[in-house]
């Protein structure tokens, strides 16, 4: 039995209000929207007693290299003109971890997401993808293999689909509120290269020609189980200030290879390549040069490769996203609130970030039927972002939307886009 551990860290649940505030949502979220941010917010009694989802859709798409302005700069141009000036600039600007493309999709199941007073039940489908090309391969494609320089071929390709259910509650304790979420995580599917076991490089020199080696392990699984915990604390308002701290997805793992509803409905061996097994590729380049070929060396002596199907791979464990969040909010006017969050991630993988992220957002309800929100964020995976949004609230019916630009606070230099819409109903407290 093989046990493989991989990890991701991301803000998995999202909604338009949180997106418009650029993630400064640790104290602004209410009802079932606070799950994955701070479950203690369920004990904050605003004007609504309950929230129920009618449906929501959130998606994001970004890359770490090309913005709109850079695309216009390079597209259709002659890279070899002026002694390759534009090509050299293109290659110099490549990120160290290669050209990455990130995507995520979050669908809030209709009617199932519900909160009343200090309790909530939530259910979501989440798909996260992280694909790209290593820097060394792009160098090789655009500029060949330079002398005496190692070109990395460390591919990192991953796609994860999960369903998340949670039961959450919060309890007031003197001047504090304490909240807890108990989560069941059902793994839908995982496809990708194991970054801890996949690597490769090539080096070219006059003396020894081309040398290189690589080892890549492709993993795939359908169906898995896991559990996690969210813990949160917040304070009552103190001179217009409120403070909070939370840890999401504590001790959370998804163990793939277990029987679920998905595995009973789908035969993995029929729909997955290599009968659903793991696949390993190894290669070695041993001093490839014209001199060696002319000396009579065979192709198989210089370029060696081995492909292996791994059958004994029953279990695969994936660490689920975990974040620590410190939050503060301040009533800056009777109808406006400023919110600030400091979020810590622990691993640079998928949508995680092994650093701090600063989020700040402002919401005004001066126009009660059309709230206005704007937020900025610095650090984390996107480095900086600008978000904004609004909605239409009439009676018990609420519609919210948000739009965000990643890697920049300016549209032209943005390298990605995120969008969110949500429909939900509310119920007011009864007047006694």
Find the CATH number of the domain harbouring 198: 2.40.160
Name the phi and psi angles at 11, rounded to 5.
Answer: -85, 105
Three-state secondary structure call for residue 231 = strand
Q: What would the mean pLDDT of 73-97 be, rounded to a whole number?
A: 86
Domain count, the chain: 1
Residues 6 or more apart whose Cβ sits within 8 Å of residue 128: 8, 10, 12, 103, 104, 105, 159, 160, 350, 351
269: pLDDT strictly greater than 90: no
Q: What would the mean pLDDT of 157-177 be, rounded to a whole number?
A: 92
Q: Inter-axis angle of helices 135-143 and 81-92, to 10 degrees?
A: 170
Name the phi and psi angles at 320, rounded to 5.
Answer: -85, 155
Q: Of 420, 422, 352, 360, nearest to 31 (Cα)? A: 422
Where residue 4 falls among pLDDT bands split at 50, 70, 90? very low
348: pLDDT strictly greater than 90: no
Q: Which of 41-55, 213-227, 231-245 has the lowest mean pLDDT?
A: 213-227
Instruction: Count other C-beta atoms under 10 Å from residue 212's C-beta.
Output: 20
350: pLDDT strictly greater than 70: no
More confident residue, 334 or 248: 248
So what's the pLDDT on residue 390? 97
So what's the pLDDT on residue 32? 95
So what's the pLDDT on residue 265? 78
CA atoms within 13 A on the CB side of 115: 32
To the nearest whole number, what is the mean pLDDT of the chain?
Answer: 86
388: pLDDT strictly greater than 90: yes
Name the residue range of residue 352's domain.
Answer: 3-428
Q: Which residues of 194-240 form beta strands (DSSP E)?
A: 199-205, 209-235
Span between the terminal Cα atoms of the chain, in Å? 62
Where residue 153 falls among pLDDT bands split at 50, 70, 90? confident
So what's the pLDDT on residue 192? 85
Q: What would the mean pLDDT of 294-310 be, rounded to a whole number?
A: 80
So what's the pLDDT on residue 288? 78
225: pLDDT strictly greater than 80: yes
More confident residue, 178 or 150: 178
So what's the pLDDT on residue 371? 95
1: pLDDT strictly greater than 50: no
Q: Which of 75-84, 127-136, 173-182, 188-197 has the lowest mean pLDDT?
A: 188-197
CA–CA gap between residue 329 and residue 345 (Å, rounded): 21
Percent of the chain with pLDDT over 70: 93
pTM of the model: 0.84
């Amino acid at each position: 039995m093989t046990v493989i551990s991989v990890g991701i860290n991301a803000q998995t649940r999202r909604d338009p209000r949180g997106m418009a505030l650029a993630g400064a949502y640790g104290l602004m979220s209410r009802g079932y929207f606070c799950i994955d941010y701070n479950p203690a917010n369920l004990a904050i009694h605003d004007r609504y007693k309950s929230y129920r989802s009618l449906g929501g859709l959130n998606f994001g798409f970004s890359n770490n290299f090309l913005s709109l302005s850079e695309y216009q700069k390079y597209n259709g141009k002659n890279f070899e003109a002026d002694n390759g000036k534009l090509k050299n600039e293109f290659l110099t600007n490549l990120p160290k971890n290669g050209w990455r493309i990130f995507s995520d999709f979050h669908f809030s199941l209709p009617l199932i997401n519900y909160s009343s007073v200090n309790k909530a039940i939530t259910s979501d489908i989440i798909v996260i993808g992280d694909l790209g090309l290593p820097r060394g391969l792009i160098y090789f494609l655009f500029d060949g293999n330079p002398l005496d320089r190692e070109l990395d071929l460390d591919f990192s390709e991953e796609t994860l689909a999960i369903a998340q259910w949670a039961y959450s509650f919060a309890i007031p304790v003197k001047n504090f509120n304490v909240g807890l979420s108990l989560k069941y995580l059902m793994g839908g599917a995982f496809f990708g290269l194991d970054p801890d076991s996949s690597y490769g490089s090539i080096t070219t020199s006059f003396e020894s020609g081309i040398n290189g080696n690589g080892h890549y392990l492709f993993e795939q699984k359908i169906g898995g189980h896991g559990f996690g915990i969210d813990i949160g604390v917040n304070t009552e308002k103190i001179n217009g200030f409120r403070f909070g701290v939370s840890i999401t997805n504590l001790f959370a793992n998804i163990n793939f290879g277990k029987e679920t509803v998905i595995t009973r409905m789908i035969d993995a061996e029929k729909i997955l390549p290599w009968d659903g097994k793991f696949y390993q590729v190894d290669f070695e380049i041993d001093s490839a040069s014209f001199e060696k070929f002319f000396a009579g060396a065979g192709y198989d002596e210089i370029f060696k490769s081995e492909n292996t199907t791994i059958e004994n791979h029953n279990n695969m464990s994936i660490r689920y996203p975990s974040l620590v969040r410190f939050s503060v909010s301040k009533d800056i006017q009777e109808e406006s609130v400023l919110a600030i969050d400091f979020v810590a991630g622990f691993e640079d993988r998928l949508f995680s970030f092994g650093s701090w992220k600063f989020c700040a957002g402002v919401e005004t309800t001066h126009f009660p039927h059309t709230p206005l929100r704007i937020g900025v964020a610095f650090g984390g995976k996107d480095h900086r972002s600008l978000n904004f949004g609004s909605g239409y609230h009439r009676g018990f019916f609420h519609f919210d939307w948000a739009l965000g630009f990643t890697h920049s606070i300016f549209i032209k230099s943005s390298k990605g886009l995120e969008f969110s819409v949500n429909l939900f109903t509310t119920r007011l407290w009864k007047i006694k």
